[in-house]
Amino acid sequence: MMNEARRSPRRQPTATIPVVDFMAETTIGRLGNVSETGMLLLASAPLTEDALYQLNFALPDAHGTHVAVGVHLLWLEEAHAPGQQWAGFRFLTISDEHRDRLREWIFG
């Protein structure tokens, strides 16, 4: 059995959750998984490593919560599908309300 090395538990969505770049007003990919401190994105738009982004995504919860986060793009890795990349983000800013909703969704 493999031990989880991450600091924060992550949840993988069962449905497609689009992620929007708030500044560019465009969908840049879909949520791969998320924790209280960061997220994995399957990106379908070009991204710049070590850049800062303002992102928004909707949780499939009873509240229909839209989570807005300021993030730092830590790494990019080519995905198997042409034109897609895996992108690892660290949350820099998130409101207390959004963090609470995210925590509720992650821990169910």
pLDDT digits (tens, 9 = 90+) for 54-96: 999 999 877 788 999 999 999 999 999 899 999 999 999 999 9
Detail the DSSP E strand segments found in the chain.
18-21, 26-34, 38-43, 52-58, 66-78, 85-94
**Does residue 19 surpass a pLDDT of 70?**
yes
Domain 18-107: CATH class, spelled out: mainly beta
pTM: 0.89
Which is more confidently placed, 37 or 63?
A: 37
The Cα 56–Cα 105 span in angstroms is 16
- The share of the chain scoring above pLDDT 90, in percent, equals 83
